[in-house]
Amino acid sequence: MPPIAHVRTPDARFDGLPGYPWAPRYTDALPALAGLRLHYLDEGPRDAAVTWLCLHGNPAWSYLYRRMVPAFLAAGHRVVAPDLPGFGRSDKPLDVAQHRFGWHRQVLLQFVEHLDLQRVNLAVQDWGGLLGLTLPHEAPGRYRALLVMNTVLATAREPLPSGFLQWRTMCRDRPDFSIARLFARGNPHLSDAECAAYDAPFPGPAYRAATRAFPEMVPEHEGAEGVAESRRAEAFWRDEWAGLSMMAIGAQDPVFTPARMEPLRAGIRRCPPPLLLADGGHFVQEHGEEIAQHALQRLGQWTA
């Protein structure tokens, strides 16, 4: 595979980010990356009874999980949180067309295999869910529990929500919108420095191919890339999933409302009623301390 033209965010952009003290780790060993460097957090004991695999969405990065990581580490667990290519401290392809459902999924599958993750509690939100929910049926023995937040399976069985279509239109019209401002609007409890941390990976327009690409990647019709794997995942979660599950929903999310999330919850075998965060928005992990405590109670101690 030929090298992928890309840019790399200067390390100085990530100096002193509030609430994010962990050392960066990188790999360029995944075949799908074709030499790109992928960043990830990997904290806690490698032989922990539980490994949390935390997957972010667009336009976030692993910084989104900073309120949850300390609780998981305090419980003696391991936490692995990659930045998808194009986001966070990972390399950023210059070509929008590089960002495809299948490519990002393959990167994540290879990443899990590369680290040989076992006893995984999968935590997903937004694109972390669209992609991440399609991983466990490939290797069910690796996964023991699921925490699902404000996301959907991309089966293309229903029209895309109007709120998402409005978001996609905004991204087309204003491709270099302020991500810090987006987080500030939905999370008034955040400091200016925390909001600015979401702009840190993107010092200029050349770094924003992923944020332009992802709204267009959501499958809308049968035959679109990602639909077949999402429908396989749908059957897996409904008929084969043997682990524990919980759902957390930000009640202020204009797209993934509790009503919109209910079919997904009902389609996950033995998933109980959701934890509803009254003040939570789309990026519900910004209320992550509460979610993490509930997740540890419901999912943290169970063993197969």
Q: Catalytic site residues? A: 126, 253, 282
3-state secondary structure of 287: helix
Contact 69, 81 (CB under 8 A): yes
Q: Give the residue from 220, 22, 38, 223 showing the smallest Cα distance to 112.
A: 38
CB 31 within 8 A of CB 57: no
For the purposes of burial, counting CB atoms within 10 Å of the CB of 37, is it exposed (0-12), middle (13-18) or buried (19 or more)?
middle
Residues 6+ away with beta carbon under 8 Å from 155: 219, 227, 230, 231, 234
120, 51 contact by CB (below 8 A):
yes
CA dist., res. 217 & res. 86, Å (int) = 14
Q: How far apart are CA 91 and CA 101, in angstroms?
A: 17
One-letter amino acid at 53 equals L
CA distance linking residue 274 with residue 167, whole number of Å: 25
d(CA 58, CA 209): 11
Angle 121-37-42 (CA atoms, 0-180°, nearest 5)? Answer: 30
Q: Which of the 8 DSSP states describes residue 23?
A: P
SS3 content of the chain, % helix, strand, coil (to 5): 40, 15, 45
Question: What distances in angstroms separate CA 175 from CA 134, 172, 185, 243, one per listed residue?
Answer: 28, 6, 18, 40
